[in-house]
Amino acid sequence: MHKEGNMTPHINAKKEDIAKTVLMPGDPLRAQFIANNFLKNVKIVNKIRNMFMYTGLYNGKKITIAASGMGQPSIGIYSYELFRFYDVDNIIRIGSAGSYKKDLKLYEVVLAKSAYTDSTSFSEIALGKKENISLPSRKLNNKIKKIAKNQNIYLNIGQIHSSNVFYAKRNLKETIKKTKSICVEMEATALFTNAKITGKNAACLLTISDNLITKEEISPEERQNSFIKMIKIALELA
């Protein structure tokens, strides 16, 4: 049930406090880091469940940074409510990913051209049909490509694996072959599906935090406080 004064059970921001474009990291502390280091006139607009959301100005334009939590169920709730009840037009996931390619290295930036999932339960329930492949907004992706080019940031563009299981017992080589993906994350499928349902726009930018081939990885602190290239690209969408 909705609490009195709340827009949804999960977000207590006022409708006017959420911008039309939302950047969505998984980690609430990454949302805090972005807001504190890149936005002006920033204020926190949601604290429910410590899923922090901040709204401020970037180069004079209003933008919201909203944590999504981990996995399809969590981002599925927050992205749907922002699209449906807050009239958000664009959500760009900015997250971390594990590389499926030896030469896709730590800190490199990935733009998802599509997301493959081996768990179709989200689309089956939300859309009423099973879909393994979900797509981002072509319009947003084209804007991201242009911004990255202007900032001289190389984008690795490809299909990503949107898994709903982190600790999975599966053969890595077979998984890479089956998914035809360059990296793996856990949220894009639900975000893209909700954008399709609501007629809104979604995109997914990722930074490689570990390489499943070479076994290299970065620390949790670096995940929380780095990924600057990806952040600077996404902020220009305000």
Residue-range domain boundaries for the chain: 15-235
Query: How far lies 19's CA from each of 63, 86, 104, 166, 175, in Å?
Result: 5, 9, 33, 31, 38
Q: What string of DSSP letters covers 46-62?
A: E-GGG--EEEEEETTEE
**pTM given for the model:** 0.93
Q: What is the model's pLDDT at position 99?
A: 98
Please give the single-letter amino acid code of residue 20.
K
Q: Is 215 left (phi over 0), alpha (psi -120 to 50) or beta?
A: left
pLDDT of residue 27: 94
Going through the chain in order, the beta strands assigned E by DSSP cover 21-24, 40-46, 53-58, 61-66, 90-99, 109-116, 133-134, 155-162, 183-185, 201-211
Only one residue has tokens 């922002």, namely: 82
- pLDDT tens by residue, 86-116: 999 999 999 999 999 999 999 999 999 999 9
Active-site residue flag, 210: yes
User: Are 110 and 97 within 8 A, CB to CB?
Assistant: yes
- Per annotation, catalytic residue among 89, 103, 118, 210: 210
- In the structure encoding, which two tokens stand for residue 232, read together? 């600077």
Check residue 2 and give its pLDDT.
Answer: 43
Pairing of strands 109-116, 201-211: antiparallel
Ranges under pLDDT 50 in the chain = 1-4
- Assigned CATH class of 15-235: alpha beta
In this structure, what are the phi and psi dihedrals at residue 185, rounded to the nearest 5 degrees?
-145, -165
